[in-house]
Amino acid sequence: MELVIPVGFKNAQPFSEGLAAVQNEDGNWGFIDRNGKLVIPYTHCLPPSPFMSGLAKVENTDGKVGFINKNNVLVIPPKFMYASSFYRGYTLVRERLDSPIYMVDTAGAVVATFPKEILYIDNSKPHVGLTGNIEPEYLFTISPTLQQLVEEGKGIFQKGASYGLMDNRGNVALDFNYQYLTDYHHGKMVAYFSTFTNGSTHNESGILDDKGNWVVQIVP
């Protein structure tokens, strides 16, 4: 084995799109290339995300999230409370808990708006390992809702305790009548539906298409 980049960082993240975030002894973060050259200076006080679609997510001291390009230019200013990582040129962002969700492109332009009362699905909860570093698997987690919107044209959202489907123009494609929806792919998803009528609960589950028809239904 050959040590390509000398040991000298307090923390380091995996490479993505040719760059890796590294932390100096003062606790600040920058990016190096594959030769170990510092190409983005240590100007970020909080750990950035890996570069995806040419942009990396950064957070300021006020807890607001934005995105820089590989020249360390803030292409999308830090004004969001929540933001997914980019996927194939798009991200989902939210300025506040009570504000709409926006689907934004790499120029920061809004391409779709979703109602403020819904949530997008994002499983990227940080898990800190024994060394005190965020585990690499978290860094590269993509929001399932975003991935579905980009690949399928529709994505699963949550409204209260119910789930539904919306398209990438912000229209409801399947009403929020389901207690559980997941794994939307090729127009089909795993679903669970429950109703209470005449003093009894009726449960339905199985594989549902995006028109609301059961493709495979599991009978209790």
**10-residue stretch averages of pLDDT, the chain, 220 residues long:** 63 92 93 94 92 95 94 95 94 94 96 96 56 50 93 96 96 95 96 81 90 87
Rounded Cα gap, residues 45 and 61, in angstroms: 8
Amino acid (one-letter) located at 19: L
Q: Is the dihedral of CA 184, 187, 190, 191 positive or negative?
A: positive
Q: What is the pLDDT of residue 130?
A: 39
Q: Are 163 and 156 in contact (CB under 8 A)?
A: yes
Is residue 132 helix, strand or coil? coil
Beta-bridge partners for 156: 165
Delimit the domains of the chain by residue range: 120-220
Q: What is the pLDDT of residue 136?
A: 47
Q: What is the pLDDT of residue 2?
A: 52
DSSP state of 53: T
As given in the structure block, the two tokens for residue 210 are 């995006």
Q: Phi, psi (5° rounding) for residue 103?
A: -95, 120
As given in the structure block, the two tokens for residue 142 are 């993509």
Q: What is the pLDDT of residue 32?
A: 95
